[in-house]
Amino acid sequence: MESLPSSRATKPEIAPFIVGVGSSAGGIEALINLVSELPKAINASFIIAQHLSPTHKSQMTEILARETEYPVVEATPHCKIKANTIYVGPPGYHLKYKEGYLHLDKSPDELSPKPVSYTHLTLPTIYSV
């Protein structure tokens, strides 16, 4: 007799939606408003790219973490994306998304602080890579 699949069987992991958010250096208030109003458990990851000076330490991660129940982390090289998590780009880097991971890129060097538009270009190609 063939057994029926158990309802307790492990479900395959569903990749989170990716929400890219760009902000100018003065956009902290808008970002605080956004993260403070996020609903719980929506199966989305938020990637925040902001114009930041590469010579100053950013406190963006700490500021946003105080305003939301979501984990807020600074993106690191080859960072695996998790659902219901907010990723903040570190100063001096472009953020690139590929196959479920965030990557940091300093090139081109002549663009600093790193523009949001460059990060935006990688988001529409998420599933065509």
**pLDDT band (50, 70, 90) for residue 111:** low
Kindly list the distances between the CA atom of residue 71 and the CA atoms of 13, 36, 98, 115, in Å, as whole numbers in the listed order: 19, 12, 21, 24
pTM for the whole thing?
Answer: 0.76
Give per-residue burial for 41-64: e unless 16+ CB within 10 Å, then b: eeebbbbbbbbbeeeeebebbeeb
Q: pLDDT tens-digit profile of 49-79? A: 887 777 778 889 999 999 999 999 999 999 9
Residues 96-122, mean pLDDT to the nearest whole number: 66
Q: pLDDT tens-digit profile of 2-43? A: 555 544 555 555 667 888 888 877 788 999 999 999 998 788
Please check whether residue 21 is in contact with residue 48, taking contact to mean a CB–CB distance below 8 angstroms. Answer: yes
Q: How far apart are CA 62 and CA 51, in angstroms?
A: 17
Q: In what order do the strands lie in the sheet with 101-105?
A: 79-80, 101-105, 94-98
Paired tokens of 3: 């057994």
Domains and CATH numbers, the chain: 17-128 (3.40.50.180)
pLDDT for 58: 83
Look up residue 29 and give its amino acid: E
Q: How far apart are CA 13 and CA 83, in angstroms?
A: 10
